[in-house]
Every structure is written in structure tokens, then in C-alpha cells.
């Protein structure tokens, strides 16, 4: 009888250990398979990590081991879900990020293969009926039968539904003329119109970068190039080199909005060898693509963050485009960063990792400067294009603003008008979606907040709803205040939806498009909107940060950043870095064709160094200035951070547990680690649970992690308090 060590599907720190079950069936289980088990009177999915044998009966096994051994309920898989490399990666990611192993597995696998009971209801393999011609001899056939035979002679094999009358086909099959067979249905196809990109001749800078990266002795190389310097062509040339050596390619982008563009480039260069993995696919499409990769039918995988776990073998090159973007870091368990996981996989495959950006993250830049990473530079735009002329516009100067308008300045409106007259295109960036970011009662001051996480609700005019952008809660827009009954409801703030409305009033004949995560909820909306803008079906595109990165629109000659300093108000050590990156990337969308570009940056705090350096696209100047601030405050890259989150239905117990952990860390690691807090996180109340966070700063996280894991397993679940860790948090 088999003895199975399994992980239970619940991603709880207190349950991050193996449980023992017995397999009394004659069917054998191997590590990496799923089984159904009874756990705490629930039917749950479990993932098998190890298999042993026993000659004992179930009763004898229970007596010898001191616990009541239980049999599994059912075997779900007969073959391992993951390769040995990926199974080992689960342990490495879990160790680094102090997260339950089951949470890593649930992130790695598509819905139908997750170690979760709900996976039993996920998409299955879909089949289609096909027809194949076996005998083209027409002797003894009717005219109708001959018609189908002749059609099949030219097109066999063909879908049954396209071959003609079902009755005639059945008769032909009975005569042995044809045969029916089932073939797996391909539910995702790269659209044909995304296969039009022609290879470009590389500049001297690009050729030098390709050579530098390919010949570098470093496992990881930073490719730092100004916006418009042609990083994508460098990626493609490197991919060609590694593919010619029989190696496979993993190409990551930070946003779904960038995936269609990158798919165009790679699918045109490597037709038939590209697979796609991102959250914009349906669960069925993702399942098919995942299995196609696992079968070795794709040599290039293009996708967003979770594609770093793609079941790709023999990897030679992993690329992270726009590596600085925060969306490479997952904001829920297991809180992994795609960059670090990419390096883990590269070490196993002896592959090269290329981190591309015009504004590298400070951690990456610092490692490149210290020689930990290699460094390749693209200092000039392709074809010597001139960087855009930039101007900073002061929003506190009321005389410069449009009448009764706090967002659109006169110079910006005039610049937009000029571009519209010239039939050129405009991008407007406002990193806030919705219509109004705050809804309040002016009579009593009541703020409309989310009952689940207590964040402000945002008004969306399109469907007249109040929405929480954190947890997805929605409610009808109120006619009266629930506190005082007044109808004096105020909508405060400015979002993309409202920007489009105001702009359409200034320019009623302009064709204005909008792109944010609300628009992107509908399948293919992002790709459709971007394609329409590239085809000049829109004159102006208004959007959030997803329009600021990586896109190449040759006819865009004006970029306007409406509220450039909006992110500086966030209580985050990365606020200035994020603001600078966004401005630099946005400015870089202008003037990428033959015409000179212009960028107008509107801000209230015009003198902040993130604004001034961003306007000049002076990364090195900003880096030196911000590094001084980081050194003083002890934030990354000078120290590593680990955030310990505590949650409990009892606020008192939550605070008590967080102080207990903080005290223990300071006592044990005095002089080696600093514990800050406990403080209330931005969302301090989620569901029915109160939350607190303790931030650990240390130069040597490997020394403290074993203790934190042990502490988490010992205390999590005790007295109704749960503990989870976010290693290398970008925010808290």
C-alpha cells in the first residue's frame, strides 16, 4: 500500500506542511499528481510531494504511527503535473518568499490543473470531428457522393461540419471511402493581422548591445536604453541566436496591454513557434496554450508575470521588457517577483536573463553598477530621432488654466488643437481611472467608502456606479446621503472617464479613445483599442499607465501628462521612483516617427526632482538624487525589506501578536535587523479582519528568514491571528 505525503489546497501558513494519507487502490500515484482527500470533514484537493510503501494494514499503520491514517478518496492525475525543474522551483520560491508551497503551485498552474477542488469544474480538452479520405475510387457512387469525394480529394483532412451532408458522409464511411476521427480543438489562434512585422536592420548601438549581451559572462544583463532606442529588435535578434542553438525563449511583458504588440513582433519573426500566456485569455485558451507548451510544440512563450512559470524546457534566454514596472510583483500570496523567479529558472537552465528598461528599477541598476549584473547600453533613439521637447506646466497658476477647469491648462488645449489640425495624434496620461475619485456629502461630510476594505469608492459615470478599485465592490450611485438624508452629494477628483468627457466638450469633432483597466475588462478590448489608435481611427487616446509603456505610435507627436505629481502623495518609499518612471515612459511615446515630438507635463509640485528629472528624461541624475534619499532612510537597495502582515477579527489580538513578533525580532537580531511598526497598512480592514504590518529591514535576509518561517508556522492561526509575509515588498 502506498503512503502519500501531500499538501492540502488551503494556502495557510499554519498548514504549510505535509499530511499523510494512504492509497489502498491498485492504481499507483507518483509525486506531482493530485488526489482528493477528506480533511477536517471537507473534501479537498491535495498535491502529492512524496510516495512511500508500507506492508502494514491501515489499522496497523495507524497504531504504529500514533494517528488515525485515512485513505485518499480518489486519484485525479496519473502523470505528474510539473517537470522536476518546476517541482524544485516550487520549493525555491517558497523558501525565498516565505510562502506556503501550495500557493506557489496554485499560481503556477492553469485553472484545470490547480491543486484546488474547483479545478474539477475547470475547462477540459475540447475535440472536433474531422473527416479523412481513404479511397478516391468513385465506382458505384451517386453524384452527391462523388461531389463530396472530389471535394475531399482536394481538402482532406477537413472538419466534418465543412465536408457536406452528414447522412452522405455516414454512407461513405460505411463503404470504407472515408474515416471519421477526433482532433483536439485549438481555442486560441494568433490573429492573422498580428503577423505583419518585418525585420529591421540593426543600428550600430543595437548590434553592439546584442554582442555585449550574448558574450557577457554574467547570467543577468541589464539592457538600459532611452525610449525609442529599439530594445525590441535587440530582443528579437538575441532570440534568433538562441533558437538557432536549439534553445527556447521566454519573453515577459509587464502589462496585458503590451502583450498583443510583442506577439506581433515575435509571431511574425517565428511563425508557428509562439505560445501566449496571460490573464486576457479565457481559462480554456490558457489551458490549451499551457498544454501546448508542455508538449514542446512552442519554442517561444510570450506572456505577462505568471508566464515566468511556463512549462518550457531547455530555456536559453529569458527577457523582461520594462523590467522596472511594479506589475511584475504579485500583490497577493505568494507575493513573488517575476524578475527573481526568472533568475531562479535561468540558473537551473544555465540561461541568460535580459532586463530591459529606459528607467531600470533601483535594485537592478545598483546591481549592474556593482558588477553583479552585466550592462548593455542603447544611448540613442533609432535613426537618431530627437527626444521630445518638454515643458512643465504649473497647475497652481490659475491664469494659465482653462476657465472653470482645474485639470486642462490653456497651453495643453492649444497644443492638442494644433495636433488635431495637422492630423497628428495625441496621448493623454492620467493615472487614475473612473470619473471622480472621491464621493462625499457636502452637508455632513460623510465619505462613501468600501464596506469590505474601507477604501474610498470611485464614481463611474458610464454605468452610474460607485466602485472599489481594490476589491471590486460595487454599489448604485446614491441619490441621498445615508447619514443625513441630504441630496448634496459631491463628486471630487478627476479620472480618465471624466477626462474624456471634458475633452470631448473642448473638441466635439475629435475621435477620442480611452484605455484603462475598466475598458480592458472585455476580452480583446485592449488589443482592439491599441490597434484602432495605431490605424488612426482615434485622434486622441486617454489612458492610465498602461498606455505609457512600450508602445510605438509613429504619428503621436504630443503627449500630455495631466496630473504628473498625483503619485507623490502616496505614503510609499517608491513614490518618487514610480512618478519619475511614469513621466519618462509617457514622454517617450512622443515623436517616435519622423516628426518632432512634444510633451507637456502638468503638476502642482513642479519643482519636485521626480518631475524635473522626468521631464528631461535624465535617469542618471534622478538615480543619484534618489539614492541619497534611500541611503538616509535605509530603504532598498541599501537594505532588504520583509513585510509581516497580521490579520484577525479581533483588533486587540492582531496588535498584540504584531508587537510580540516585533519584540522577538529586535531581541534576537539586535544590530542585524530593524523592525518598524506595527503600523496600519493602507487597507487596514479587509472583510471582517483587522490588519497590521511590521516591516523588517536587514542587509542579510537569508539569516532571518528561517526564524520568520518558524515564527509564522508557530503563531499563524494561534488565537485567531493569521500571519503572511511579503518579501521584497514594493509597498505596504
CATH number reported for the structural domain that contains residue 298 in this entry: 3.40.50.300
**517-522-526 Cα angle (round to 5):** 60
pLDDT (tens digit per residue) in 353-404? 999 999 999 999 999 999 999 999 999 988 777 888 999 999 889 899 999 8
275 Cβ contact list (under 8 Å, min separation 6): 289, 292, 293, 297, 298, 300, 301, 302, 310
Q: Are residues 211 and 339 in the same domain?
A: yes
Q: Of 468, 363, 475, give the one whose Cα is nearest residue 682.
A: 468
**Residue holding cell 558574450?**
215
Burial (Cβ within 10 Å: 0-12, 13-18, ≥19) of residue 41:
exposed
pLDDT of the residue at 437: 58
Contact 298, 273 (CB under 8 A): yes
Helices (H), ranges, 350-439: 362-369, 410-421
pLDDT (tens digit per residue) in 443-458? 777 778 777 766 677 7
Residue 219 has pLDDT above 60, yes or no: yes
Q: pLDDT tier at 6 (50, 70, 90 boundaries)?
A: very high
Boundary residue ending a domain (631, 657, 678)? 631
Q: Are residues 203 and 151 in the same domain?
A: no
Least confident of 47-56, 205-214, 335-344, 457-466: 457-466
Residue 53 has pLDDT above 90, yes or no: yes
**Residue holding cell 536604453?**
225
Q: Are residues 413 and 371 in the same domain?
A: no
Contact 648, 658 (CB under 8 A): no
* Residue 567, in any domain of the structure: yes
Q: pLDDT tier at 552 (50, 70, 90 boundaries)?
A: confident
* Residue 657, in any domain of the structure: yes
pLDDT (tens digit per residue) in 268-286? 889 889 999 988 888 999 9
CA 535 to chain centre: 27
pLDDT of the residue at 469: 63
Q: Are residues 68 and 103 in the same domain?
A: yes
Average pLDDT, the chain: 90
Q: How many domains does the chain have?
A: 6
* Residue 172, in any domain of the structure: yes
Residue 721 has pLDDT above 80, yes or no: yes
* Residue 732, in any domain of the structure: no
Q: Are residues 532 and 398 in the same domain?
A: yes
pLDDT of the residue at 522: 66
Contact 400, 394 (CB under 8 A): yes
pLDDT of the residue at 340: 98
pLDDT (tens digit per residue) in 396-445? 898 999 998 888 999 999 999 999 999 999 999 987 655 545 577 777 77
Boundary residue ending a domain (334, 358, 377)? 377
Mean pLDDT of 21-35: 95
Q: Which helix (H) or strand (E) holds 500?
A: helix 496-506
Q: Are residues 536 and 392 in the same domain?
A: yes
pLDDT (tens digit per residue) in 613-649? 999 989 999 999 999 999 998 999 999 999 999 999 9
Neighbours of 156 (CB within 10 A): 16
Calpha distance 90→113 (Å, rounded): 15
**255-260-263 Cα angle (round to 5):** 110
Based on its alpha-carbon atoms, the radius of gyration of the chain, rounded to whole angstroms, reads 29
Q: Are residues 509 and 483 in the same domain?
A: no
- For residue 58, give the CATH number of its domain: 3.40.1440.60
Least confident of 72-76, 183-187, 547-551, 724-728: 547-551
pLDDT of the residue at 492: 56
Q: Are residues 609 and 550 in the same domain?
A: yes
* Residue 143, in any domain of the structure: yes
Helices (H), ranges, 617-732: 619-633, 651-668, 701-715
pLDDT (tens digit per residue) in 569-587? 776 889 899 999 999 989 8
Q: Which helix (H) or strand (E) holds 233?
A: helix 231-244
706-718 burial, b if ≥16 CB within 10 A, otherwise e? eebbebbbebbee
* Residue 156, in any domain of the structure: yes
Q: pLDDT tier at 210 (50, 70, 90 boundaries)?
A: very high
pLDDT of the residue at 194: 46
Q: Are residues 158 and 291 in the same domain?
A: no
Residue 242 has pLDDT above 60, yes or no: yes
Q: Are residues 67 and 84 in the same domain?
A: yes
* Residue 519, in any domain of the structure: yes
DSSP of 596-636, one letter per residue? PPEEEEEESSTTSHHHHHHHHT-HHHHHHHHHHHHHHHT-T
pLDDT of the residue at 299: 96
Q: pLDDT tier at 675 (50, 70, 90 boundaries)?
A: very high
In Å, what is the CA distance from 299 to each residue of 280, 296, 310, 691? Answer: 21, 7, 11, 44
Mean pLDDT of 43-55: 96
pLDDT (tens digit per residue) in 114-162? 999 999 999 988 888 999 999 999 999 999 999 999 999 999 999 999 9
pLDDT (tens digit per residue) in 458-502? 777 777 788 876 667 888 888 888 888 888 786 656 778 888 999
3-state secondary structure at position 709: helix
- For residue 697, give the CATH number of its domain: 3.30.70.600
Q: Are residues 261 and 237 in the same domain?
A: yes
The domain of 226 spans: 193-377
* Residue 353, in any domain of the structure: yes
3-state secondary structure at position 640: strand
3-state secondary structure at position 706: helix
**586-469-255 Cα angle (round to 5):** 40
In Å, what is the CA distance from 32 to each residue of 19, 82, 102, 115, 119? Answer: 15, 6, 12, 10, 16
pLDDT of the residue at 195: 44
216-220, 261-265, 681-685: which is most confident: 216-220
3-state secondary structure at position 675: strand
Q: Are residues 475 and 522 in the same domain?
A: no
Percent of the chain with pLDDT over 70: 95
pLDDT of the residue at 471: 65
Burial (Cβ within 10 Å: 0-12, 13-18, ≥19) of residue 476:
exposed
Amino acid at each position: 500500500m502506498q503512503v502519500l505525503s501531500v499538501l492540502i489546497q488551503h494556502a495557510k501558513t499554519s498548514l504549510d506542511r505535509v499530511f499523510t494519507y494512504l492509497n489502498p487502490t491498485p492504481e499507483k500515484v507518483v509525486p506531482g499528481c493530485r488526489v482528493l482527500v477528506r480533511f477536517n470533514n471537507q473534501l479537498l484537493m491535495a498535491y502529492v510531494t512524496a510516495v512511500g510503501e508500507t506492508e502494514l494494514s491501515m489499522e496497523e499503520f495507524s497504531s504504529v504511527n500514533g494517528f488515525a491514517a485515512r485513505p485518499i478518496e480518489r486519484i485525479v492525475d496519473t502523470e505528474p503535473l510539473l517537470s522536476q525543474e518546476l517541482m524544485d522551483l516550487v520549493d525555491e520560491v517558497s523558501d525565498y518568499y516565505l510562502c506556503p508551497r501550495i500557493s506557489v503551485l496554485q499560481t503556477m498552474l492553469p485553472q484545470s490543473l490547480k491543486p484546488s477542488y474547483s479545478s474539477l469544474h475547470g475547462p477540459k480538452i475540447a475535440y472536433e470531428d474531422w473527416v479523412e479520405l481513404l479511397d478516391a475510387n468513385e465506382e458505384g457512387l451517386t453524384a452527391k457522393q462523388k461531389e463530396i469525394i472530389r471535394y475531399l480529394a482536394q481538402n482532406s483532412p477537413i472538419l466534418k461540419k465543412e465536408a457536406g451532408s452528414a447522412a452522405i458522409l455516414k454512407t461513405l464511411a460505411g463503404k470504407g471511402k472515408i474515416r471519421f476521427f477526433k482532433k483536439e480543438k485549438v481555442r486560441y489562434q494568433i490573429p492573422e493581422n498580428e503577423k505583419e512585422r518585418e525585420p529591421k536592420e540593426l543600428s550600430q548601438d543595437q548590434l553592439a548591445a546584442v554582442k555585449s549581451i550574448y558574450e557577457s559572462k554574467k547570467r543577468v544583463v541589464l539592457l538600459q536604453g532611452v525610449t525609442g532606442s529599439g530594445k525590441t529588435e535587440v530582443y528579437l535578434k538575441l532570440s534568433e541566436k538562441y533558437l538557432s542553438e536549439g534553445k527556447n525563449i521566454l519573453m515577459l511583458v509587464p502589462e496585458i496591454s503590451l502583450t498583443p504588440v510583442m506577439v506581433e513582433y515575435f509571431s511574425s519573426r517565428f511563425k508557428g513557434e509562439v505560445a501566449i500566456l496571460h490573464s486576457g485569455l479565457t481559462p480554456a485558451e490558457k489551458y490549451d496554450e499551457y498544454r501546448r507548451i508542455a508538449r514542446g510544440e512552442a519554442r517561444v512563450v510570450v506572456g505577462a508575470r505568471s508566464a515566468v512559470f511556463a512549462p518550457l524546457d531547455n530555456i536559453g534566454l529569458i527577457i523582461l521588457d520594462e523590467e522596472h514596472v511594479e506589475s511584475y510583483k504579485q500583490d497577493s500570496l505568494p507575493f513573488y517577483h517575476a524578475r527573481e523567479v526568472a533568475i531562479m529558472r535561468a540558473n537551473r537552465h544555465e540561461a541568460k536573463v535580459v532586463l530591459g528598461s529606459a528607467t531600470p528599477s533601483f535594485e537592478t541598476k545598483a546591481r549592474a553598477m556593482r558588477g553583479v549584473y552585466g550592462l548593455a547600453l542603447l544611448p540613442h533613439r533609432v535613426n537618431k530621432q530627437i527626444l521630445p521637447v518638454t515643458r512643465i506646466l504649473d497647475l497652481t497658476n490659475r491664469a494659465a488654466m482653462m476657465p472653470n477647469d482645474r485639470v486642462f491648462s490653456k497651453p495643453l488645449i492649444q497644443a492638442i488643437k494644433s495636433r488635431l489640425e495637422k492630423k497628428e495624434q495625441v496621448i493623454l496620461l492620467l493615472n487614475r481611472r473612473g470619473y471622480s475619485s472621491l464621493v462625499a456629502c457636502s452637508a455632513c461630510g460623510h465619505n462613501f467608502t468600501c464596506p469590505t476594505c474601507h477604501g474610498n469608492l470611485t464614481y463611474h459615470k458610464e454605468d452610474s456606479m460607485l466602485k472599489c478599485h481594490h476589491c471590486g465592490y460595487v454599489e448604485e450611485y446614491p441619490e441621498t446621503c445615508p447619514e443625513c438624508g441630504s441630496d448634496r452629494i459631491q463628486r471630487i477628483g478627476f479620472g480618465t472617464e471624466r477626462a474624456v468627457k471634458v475633452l470631448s466638450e473642448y473638441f466635439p469633432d475629435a475621435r477620442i479613445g480611452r484605455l484603462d483597466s475598466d475598458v480592458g475588462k472585455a476580452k480583446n478590448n485592449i488589443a482592439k483599442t491599441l490597434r484602432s489608435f495605431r490605424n488612426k481611427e482615434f485622434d486622441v487616446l486617454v489612458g492610465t499607465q498602461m498606455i505609457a509603456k512600450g508602445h510605438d505610435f509613429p504619428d503621436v507627436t504630443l503627449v500630455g501628462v495631466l496630473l504628473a505629481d498625483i503619485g507623490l502623495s502616496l505614503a510609499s518609499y517608491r513614490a518618487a521612483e514610480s512618478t519619475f518612471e511614469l513621466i519618462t515612459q509617457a514622454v517617450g511615446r512622443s515623436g517616435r516617427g519622423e516628426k518632432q515630438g512634444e510633451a507637456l507635463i502638468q503638476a502642482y509640485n513642479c519643482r519636485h526632482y521626480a518631475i524635473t528629472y522626468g521631464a528631461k528624461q535624465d535617469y542618471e541624475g534622478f538615480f543619484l538624487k534618489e539614492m541619497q534619499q534611500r541611503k538616509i532612510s535605509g530603504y532598498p537597495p541599501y537594505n532588504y525589506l520583509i513585510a509581516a502582515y497580521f490579520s484577525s477579527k479581533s483588533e486587540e489580538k492582531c496588535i498584540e501578536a504584531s508587537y510580540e513578533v516585533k519584540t522577538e525580532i529586535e531581541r534576537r537580531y539586535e544590530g542585524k535587523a530593524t523592525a518598524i511598526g506595527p503600523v496600519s497598512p493602507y487597507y487596514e480592514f479587509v472583510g471582517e479582519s483587522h490588519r497590521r504590518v511590521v516591516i523588517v529591514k536587514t542587509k542579510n535576509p537569508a539569516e532571518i528568514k528561517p526564524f520568520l518561517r518558524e515564527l509564522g508556522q508557530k503563531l499563524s492561526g494561534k488565537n485567531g491571528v493569521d500571519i503572511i509575509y511579503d518579501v521584497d515588498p514594493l509597498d505596504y
